[in-house]
């Protein structure tokens, strides 16, 4: 059984666009992030990014994880520890 899911991007059929309101912004970011993390897309983009860009993206993601998740949430939701 898969540990990761991307159901939202597969089932959402509403409006998306950034800057209208908080709810639509959250929906749009979730769609973009799920599309962005697609294996084929990542294989393409990561090879083209500079070392500095890789570091910058890693730092942003790490900062968000540290800021918004407790240690147990980090293990449960991100690492998918059992």
**pLDDT per residue as tens digits for the range 25-39:** 999 999 999 999 999
Helix (H) or strand (E) segment spanning residue 56:
helix 51-68
Arithmetic mean of pLDDT, 4-18: 91
In whole angstroms, give the CA distance from residue 38 to residue 33.
Answer: 9
Q: Write out the two tokens for 12.
A: 């959402």
In whole angstroms, give the CA distance from residue 36 to residue 57.
Answer: 12
In whole angstroms, give the CA distance from residue 46 to residue 79.
Answer: 21
Arithmetic mean of pLDDT, 57-62: 98
Domain limits, the chain: 1-48, 49-82
Arithmetic mean of pLDDT, 7-35: 95
Per-residue pLDDT, 4: 81
């Amino acid at each position: 059984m898969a540990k990761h899911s991307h159901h939202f991007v597969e089932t959402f059929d509403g409006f998306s666009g950034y800057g209208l309101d908080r709810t639509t912004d959250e929906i749009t970011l979730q769609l973009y992030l799920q599309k962005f993390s697609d294996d084929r897309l990542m294989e393409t983009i990561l090879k083209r990014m500079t070392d500095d860009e890789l570091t910058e993206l890693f730092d942003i993601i790490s900062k968000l994880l540290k800021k918004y998740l407790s240690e147990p949430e980090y293990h449960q939701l991100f690492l998918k520890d059992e």
